[in-house]
Amino acid sequence: MAEVQLTPTSYVVLGLLSLAGEATSYDLKRLVAQSVGYFWALPHSQLYAEPARLAKGGYVSERRETSGRRRRYYSLTDRGRSALEDWAGSLPDELGELRDPGILKLFFGADPATLARGQLELHERRLSEYEAMLASMGSHLPDGPRLALEAGIGHEHEYIRYWKELAAG
């Protein structure tokens, strides 16, 4: 059982497995797209590579179909579940960064008004999507995912406030 480093990607996989039970990489891909993906996306190739890595470390177990597609089904081991709980139960060591491509361009000389109008449109569209998600599934969403979605909505409001001011100027 090799030593594998647990990255945020690892916890996304562990977390989704804890919600979904047994899942294939393709299942994970769809789950990401429908849930965390809106604020923490992963390319599907990672969802093939990462469970394999986690299996090496003993955090997940693999069961493989013997016929047909021979799909690999992954599920949490005790070790995996406990790693996930430790992680979720501890305070983050550091804050995230804004890392917004639009703000980076602004920093290095983009024209504020032009940029702002473009960004505004994108953020308004995204806010609508988030609000549609909340309206449609909000009530039967677990607390964590719902609160995370509300965080996303809050930040979209802030982006819109910000770019609107610049779009005017």
Partner DNA sequence: ACCGTCATGTAATCGGTTACATGATTCT
Partner DNA sequence: AGAATCATGTAACCGATTACATGACGGT
Residues in contact with DNA by CB under 7 A are 4-5, 7-9, 24-27, 29-30, 42-46, 48-50, 53, 68-72
CA–CA separation, 6 and 21 (whole Å): 20
For a second copy, which residue of 69, 109, 135, 168 counts as binding (CB under 8 A)? 109
Q: Between 100 and 150, name the residue whose CB sits nearer to DNA.
A: 100
Q: Distance between CA 29 and CA 45 in Å, rounded?
A: 9
Q: Tell me which stretch binds a second copy (CB under 8 A): 44-52, 57-65, 68-76, 95-103.
A: 95-103
- Crossing angle (nearest 10°) for helices 143-168 and 112-137: 150
Least gap, CB of 70 to a second copy (angstroms): 30
Based on CB atoms, which residue is closest to DNA, 48 or 87?
48
Position among 11, 26, 48, 73 found at the interface with a second copy (CB under 8 A)? 11
Exposed, middle or buried, 69 (CB in 10 Å: 0-12/13-18/19+)?
A: exposed
Q: Of the two residues 53 and 123, which places its CB atom closer to DNA in the complex? A: 53
Is residue 21 at the binding interface for a second copy, with CB under 8 A as the rule? no
Q: How far is the CB of 83 from DNA (least distance, A)?
A: 14
Quickly list H helices, the chain: 8-20, 25-34, 44-56, 78-89, 101-107, 112-137, 143-168
